[in-house]
C-alpha cells in the first residue's frame, strides 16, 4: 500500500489542515451561545425522537447584528447551518438582541436552551429562507423574584423567618392588649362596690350565691368560698331587719344583690364561738342539705368596736321552736321534720374517709331553737359554736377553747352529773342523741291524731321553771330519772306509738343504750315507708 509513502502522507495532512481552516471560518464561536435558551429546532423533531433532516449544503444568508464575521457586508453573513436570533439579560438591567449565523456542525447544541443559564438567554434558529432571522423575536419570560428562584435558599429562609416572627409579634401584642383590658375591667370598681378595699375581690355581675358556692365545690376544695370572696360578700350586704337575739348576739335578715341572707352578729365576748362555728362550717365535705348552708364569715370594725359576722342561708320559717309554736302537723309533716333533722345530725356524726376527709363532729348544743325549717318543710341543723371534732389519726377529741356551755334543759344526765368522759368522742355523740329524743317529743306533740293535738311546750315544762338551774335539772334528770310525759292519745296512733318508743331509746339514762343517729334515721325511713310517705 504505497499511499503510506512520504509524498502521499504529506498530501493527506495538507488536506486535513485546509478542512479545519474552512470549518473554523464558517462555525460560530460557541462561547456566548453556550447555556443559551431553547431553540426552535426542537419543533423540527419528529415523533421518533430524531432531529430534522439537515439542510442542503447551499449557502444560507442571514442578518447579523452584534455578531458579524469580519468580512461581513451590510450586516449579513452566510452559513451552511442556521440563522439565529438571541435575546440576553445584561448586567445593567436591560436586554441585548443579537442575530447572526451558526454553522451546521454543533448547531444542535447551539440552538438548544439550558434552563439555568446565567445571565438569562433565549435563542431561536431558522433555515426557512434567507434572512429568516429577521422575523425571529425571542422573548424572555418575566423575571422571577430572586427570593423564590432556585438556589436562593438563604434569602428564602430569611423571608420565612421574618414573616413568622412578625406574626408571633402581632399575636403577642394582641394577647397583651386583651389581657391588659381584662385586668383593667377587673380593677374598675363595679357600681355596687364603689370604694373596693384591698381585702376585697371583684365578683362579676349576675353571679348568684348559688353560682359562687357551686364553683367553690367544683374547684375541689370542698371547704366553702375563698376568703376574699367571703369578705367581699360580707362588706356588700345590706342589713334589713333584726329577726332574733340570743346570748351569743343577734340575727339579722340581710340582702346581697337582692338575695336574702341570714347574718349572725356575735358579741365581742363570743369570739371563740364565732371562730369555732366558722371553722366547723368550713370543714371539708361539710356541706349537706340538712345542715345550714354557710356563705361567709368576716370581722368588721375599727379600733373602738368590732363585729363578728357569720352569713348563712336565710329560712323565713325560722327555727323549729318558732315553727312548732305556730303550726300543727300531720303524720307526713311530722316524719319529714324528724327525718331531715336526724339526716343532718347523722352527717355531722359520720366520719368520711378520703384524701381530704371529713372528721366526725358532735353538736353539743342540739335543741329546737338550733334547727331551722326550710320552705319545703324539711329541717337543717344550725349553730355549731360548741361542736367538737374527732381526729381519728391521733384518736384525739378537738374541744373548742370556749367558756360557753350548752342549754341546761337539753343536757343529758352524764353532763349534768359530770360523769361524761371528755376524752371519749362517743360520749359526745350519745349526748347529742339524748337531746334529739327531746326534740322528737316536741315535734310529736304537735302532730294531729283523731283531731287532737297538744299545745307546744318545751321539754320538762311541767317539772322545772322557764330558766332552770343545774341543780333543778340534775334532780329531775339524774336523781329522779324523769322524762317528758306522753299524752294518752299516742297509744291509739301507730305512728305516734313508734315515735314514743324511739324517744325512750334516744333518751335512755345509760349512754351506751341509746340509739345512734344512723339507726334513728333508718327507723324513721321505715316508718315513712309503712305510711306510704315519700321523704
The mean pLDDT of the chain is 81
Question: 171-195: per-residue pLDDT in tens?
Answer: 999 999 988 888 776 554 443 333 3
Architecture of domain 318-530: Orthogonal Bundle (1.10)
Per-residue pLDDT, 491: 92
Q: Which residue has the cell 305556730?
A: 326
The C-alpha cell 315553727 sits at: 323
Residues contacting residue 418 through CB under 8 Å, at least 6 positions apart: none
Q: Are 272 and 403 in contact (CB under 8 A)?
A: yes
Taking 50 as the pLDDT cut, the residues of the chain under it are 1-7, 9, 17-55, 147, 188-198
Options 3.90.79.10, 3.30.413.10, 3.40.50.300, 3.30.200.20; which CATH number does 221-313 get? 3.30.200.20
Is 375 one of the annotated binding-site residues?
Answer: no
The reported pLDDT for the residue numbered 66 is 85
**Model confidence over 137-155: pLDDT tens digits?**
888 888 766 545 555 678 8
Radius of gyration of the CA atoms of the chain, in A: 54
8 A C-beta contact, residue 79 and residue 25: no
Distance CA 215, CA 195 (A): 26
Task: Give the N- to C-terminal CA distance of the chain in Å, as an integer.
Answer: 136
Q: How far apart are CA 346 and CA 521, in angstroms?
A: 8
Domain residues of the chain, as ranges?
A: 60-134, 221-313, 318-530
* pLDDT at position 74: 87
Q: Which CATH superfamily is domain 60-134 in?
A: CD59 (2.10.60.10)
Of 365, 383, 432, 493, which residue is the catalytic one? 365
Cβ count near 178 (within 10 Å): 10
What pLDDT shows up at residue 44?
39
Please confirm, yes or no, whether 532 is among the known catalytic residues.
Answer: no
- What pLDDT, on a 0 to 100 scale, did the predictor assign at position 197? 45
Whether residue 452 contacts residue 410, with contact meaning beta carbons closer than 8 Å, is answered with: no
In angstroms, the CA 34 to CA 327 distance is 115
Q: What is the predicted pLDDT for the residue at 145?
A: 60
Amino acid at each position: 500500500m504505497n499511499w503510506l509513502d512520504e509524498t502521499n502522507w504529506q498530501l493527506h495532512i495538507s488536506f486535513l489542515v485546509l478542512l479545519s481552516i474552512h470549518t473554523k471560518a464558517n462555525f460560530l464561536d460557541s462561547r456566548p451561545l453556550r447555556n443559551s435558551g431553547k431553540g426552535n429546532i426542537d419543533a423540527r423533531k419528529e415523533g421518533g425522537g430524531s432531529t430534522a433532516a439537515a439542510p442542503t449544503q447551499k449557502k444560507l444568508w442571514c442578518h447579523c447584528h452584534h455578531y458579524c464575521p469580519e468580512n461581513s457586508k451590510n450586516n449579513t453573513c452566510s452559513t451552511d447551518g442556521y440563522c439565529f436570533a438571541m435575546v440576553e439579560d445584561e448586567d445593567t438591567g436591560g436586554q441585548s438582541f443579537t442575530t447572526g449565523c451558526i454553522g451546521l456542525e454543533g448547531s444542535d447544541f447551539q440552538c438548544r436552551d439550558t434552563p439555568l443559564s446565567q445571565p438569562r438567554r433565549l435563542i431561536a434558529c431558522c433555515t426557512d429562507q434567507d434572512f429568516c432571522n429577521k422575523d425571529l423575536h425571542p422573548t424572555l419570560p418575566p423575571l422571577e423574584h430572586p427570593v423564590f428562584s432556585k438556589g436562593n435558599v438563604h434569602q428564602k429562609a430569611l423571608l420565612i423567618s421574618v414573616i413568622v416572627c412578625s406574626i408571633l409579634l402581632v399575636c403577642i401584642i394582641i394577647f397583651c392588649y386583651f389581657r391588659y383590658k381584662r385586668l383593667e375591667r377587673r380593677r374598675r370598681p363595679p357600681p355596687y362596690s364603689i370604694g373596693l378595699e384591698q381585702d376585697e375581690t371583684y365578683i362579676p355581675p349576675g353571679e348568684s350565691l348559688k353560682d359562687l358556692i357551686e364553683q367553690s365545690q367544683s374547684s375541689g376544695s370542698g371547704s366553702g368560698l375563698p376568703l376574699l370572696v367571703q369578705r367581699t360578700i360580707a362588706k356588700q350586704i345590706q342589713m334589713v331587719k333584726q329577726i332574733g337575739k340570743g346570748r351569743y348576739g343577734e340575727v339579722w335578715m340581710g340582702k346581697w344583690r337582692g338575695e336574702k341572707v341570714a347574718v349572725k352578729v356575735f358579741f365581742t365576748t363570743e369570739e371563740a364561738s364565732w371562730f369555732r362555728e366558722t371553722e366547723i362550717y368550713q370543714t371539708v365535705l361539710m356541706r349537706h342539705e340538712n345542715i345550714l348552708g354557710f356563705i361567709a364569715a368576716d370581722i368588721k370594725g375599727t379600733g373602738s368596736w368590732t363585729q363578728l359576722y357569720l352569713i348563712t342561708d336565710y329560712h323565713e320559717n325560722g327555727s323549729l321552736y318558732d315553727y312548732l309554736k305556730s303550726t300543727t302537723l300531720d303524720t307526713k309533716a311530722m316524719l319529714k321534720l324528724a327525718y331531715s333533722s336526724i339526716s343532718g345530725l347523722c352527717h355531722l356524726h359520720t366520719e368520711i374517709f378520703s384524701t381530704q376527709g371529713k372528721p366526725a363532729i358532735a353538736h353539743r348544743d342540739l335543741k329546737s331553737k338550733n334547727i331551722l325549717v326550710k320552705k319545703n318543710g324539711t329541717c337543717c341543723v344550725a349553730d355549731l359554736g360548741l361542736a367538737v371534732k374527732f381526729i381519728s389519726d391521733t384518736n384525739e377529741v378537738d374541744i373548742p377553747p370556749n367558756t360557753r356551755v350548752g342549754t341546761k334543759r337539753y343536757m343529758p344526765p352524764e353532763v349534768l352529773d359530770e360523769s361524761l368522759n371528755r376524752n371519749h368522742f362517743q360520749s359526745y355523740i350519745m349526748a347529742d342523741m339524748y337531746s334529739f329524743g327531746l326534740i322528737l317529743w316536741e315535734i310529736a306533740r304537735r302532730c294531729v291524731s283523731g283531731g287532737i293535738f297538744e299545745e307546744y311546750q318545751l321539754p320538762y315544762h311541767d317539772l322545772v321553771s322557764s330558766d332552770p338551774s343545774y341543780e333543778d335539772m340534775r334532780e329531775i334528770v339524774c336523781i329522779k330519772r324523769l322524762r317528758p310525759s306522753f299524752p294518752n292519745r299516742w297509744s291509739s296512733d301507730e305512728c305516734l306509738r313508734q315515735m314514743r318508743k324511739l324517744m325512750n331509746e334516744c333518751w335512755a339514762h345509760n349512754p351506751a343504750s341509746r340509739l345512734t343517729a344512723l339507726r334513728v334515721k333508718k327507723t324513721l325511713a321505715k316508718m315513712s315507708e309503712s305510711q306510704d310517705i315519700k321523704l
